Every structure is written in structure tokens, then in C-alpha cells.
């Protein structure tokens, strides 16, 4: 088992008890942990206390369908990967699931090999996404630590302006701009303007949803 899957959890949501139990057993056999739920409401009622994980979600369930569950997950800003599944899958259903943010769509019944590959790929992509998000969060924290003047100087430099032009724009002396520039590099713990600009670009990327908003 690789590091990505070592503590992986798969939340299985399906109203068919036989399939739900079989899927959970299969997931355990593959090497992951499985949390089974008989309907979407049971899952949504306890999600605040759940460990983050993949969601294996049946789309055709009474009362609250898989589409309803995905809509609610989006409302709560929960971005755990969802693998949509159904025994009655068709192209329109798959398209609708993807539009709601499903990572993939699988028809029941599925083989162990098919499920193993699907879960492994979803987990790796999720881990990669979390790494990127962590890097962006760190960049935002560093940029927020700058003083307003240091930030203004960084903006000017990132636009390719020389110290003289930045000084003119900010109505400062060139010496003062050089001081802010040196302090800015030190505060960001970087040695070059290129590194500082890269941090600025990372910090300005749109933040990904994180956690659950009840």
C-alpha cells in the first residue's frame, strides 16, 4: 500500500444493503477503510464528524438522490472527491454528475480491478491537489506578512518596472524603494525578485474550497 492510500477512507452511500456491504468488503480488501451509509441523509447528518475521504455515491436513491447529495455537498463547500455510481447509468446521467463536480462515473456492478484503479487514481489526484493548495496557502501567508509599502513595491516590480519607475508611481525616493525591496525579499525569505514574483502569483490564485460549511 502506498503513502497516499495508507489511511484512505471511502464513504459508501447506497440504499441497497447487499451491494453496500459487498462494496465495503471490497474496499477493505483493496486496503482502504470503508464507512457505509444507507442513504444520503445519514451521511450528511454525520459528515461534520467524519474524516475526509472519497465518496462512492449511488445516484438513484429514494428520498434524497445522489444528485441531491452532491448539490448539498457543494453548498457546504465540501470538495471531497465523489465517484458517482448507478446500475442504470446512461450518458445524460453521467453528464449531470460531472457537471455537479463528480470525479468519475462508474456503473454497477464493477470488478475489484476496476474499483481499485479508480480509487487509486482519485486518491492520487486528490493528494496532488492538496499539495498545490498547501503551497498556495503558504504563499498567501507570506504575502499577507508584507507591509503595505512592501506589497506595493512587489506589485510594481512584478509588473517589470525598475526601481525608478516604482519610486515615481509611489511618490517615493529610489533609496526608499530599494529599502522596501530589500525588506520585502527578507520577509518573504527569498533571494531574488523572480522568487518573490512567483510567490505573489501563487498567492493570487483563486482559493480552493476547503473543509465543510455546515
Contacts of 111 (CB under 8 A, 6+ apart): none
Report which DSSP code applies to 15: S
| pLDDT averaged over every residue in the chain | 90
pLDDT at residue number 178: 96
Residue 75 in contact with residue 28, Cβ under 8 Å? no
pLDDT class of 6 with cuts at 50, 70, 90: low
**pLDDT, tens digit, 9 for 90 and up, residues 114-169:** 999 999 999 999 999 888 889 999 999 999 999 999 999 999 999 999 999 999 99
What are the φ/ψ torsions at residue 10 (nearest 5 degrees)?
-120, 120
Average the pLDDT over 48-55 and give the result.
Answer: 92
pLDDT at residue number 71: 95
Contacts of 60 (CB under 8 A, 6+ apart): 66, 86, 87, 88
Task: Tell me the chain's radius of gyration from C-alpha atoms.
Answer: 24
pLDDT at residue number 92: 85
pLDDT class of 95 with cuts at 50, 70, 90: confident
- All three cell numbers of 9, joined, read 477512507
Map grid coordinates 441531491 to a residue.
68
What CA–CA distance (Å, rounded) separates 196 from 148? 15
**pLDDT, tens digit, 9 for 90 and up, residues 188-205:** 999 999 999 999 999 987
Residue 5, pLDDT > 60, answer: no
What are the φ/ψ torsions at residue 86 (nearest 5 degrees)?
-165, 155
Domains with residue ranges and CATH for the chain = 9-132 (3.40.50.2300), 145-203 (1.10.10.10)
Amino acid at each position: 500500500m502506498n503513502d497516499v492510500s495508507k489511511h484512505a477512507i471511502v464513504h459508501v452511500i447506497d440504499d441497497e444493503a447487499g451491494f453496500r456491504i459487498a462494496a465495503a468488503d471490497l474496499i477493505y480488501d483493496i486496503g482502504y477503510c470503508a464507512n457505509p451509509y444507507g442513504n444520503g441523509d445519514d451521511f450528511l447528518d454525520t459528515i461534520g464528524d467524519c474524516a475526509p475521504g472519497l465518496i462512492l455515491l449511488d445516484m438513484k436513491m429514494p428520498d434524497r438522490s445522489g444528485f441531491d447529495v452532491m448539490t448539498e455537498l457543494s453548498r457546504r463547500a465540501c470538495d471531497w472527491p465523489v465517484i458517482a455510481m448507478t446500475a442504470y447509468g446512461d450518458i445524460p446521467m453521467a453528464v449531470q454528475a460531472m457537471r455537479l463536480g463528480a470525479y468519475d462515473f462508474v456503473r454497477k456492478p464493477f470488478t475489484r480491478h476496476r474499483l481499485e484503479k479508480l480509487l487509486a487514481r482519485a486518491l492520487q489526484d486528490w493528494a496532488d491537489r492538496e499539495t498545490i493548495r498547501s503551497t498556495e496557502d503558504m504563499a498567501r501567508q507570506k504575502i499577507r506578512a508584507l507591509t503595505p509599502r512592501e506589497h506595493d513595491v512587489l506589485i510594481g516590480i512584478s509588473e517589470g518596472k525598475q526601481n525608478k519607475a516604482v519610486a515615481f508611481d509611489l511618490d517615493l525616493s529610489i533609496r526608499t524603494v530599494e529599502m522596501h525591496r530589500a525588506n520585502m525579499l527578507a520577509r518573504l525569505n527569498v533571494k531574488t525578485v523572480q522568487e518573490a514574483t512567483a510567490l505573489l502569483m501563487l498567492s493570487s490564485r483563486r482559493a480552493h474550497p476547503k473543509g465543510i460549511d455546515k
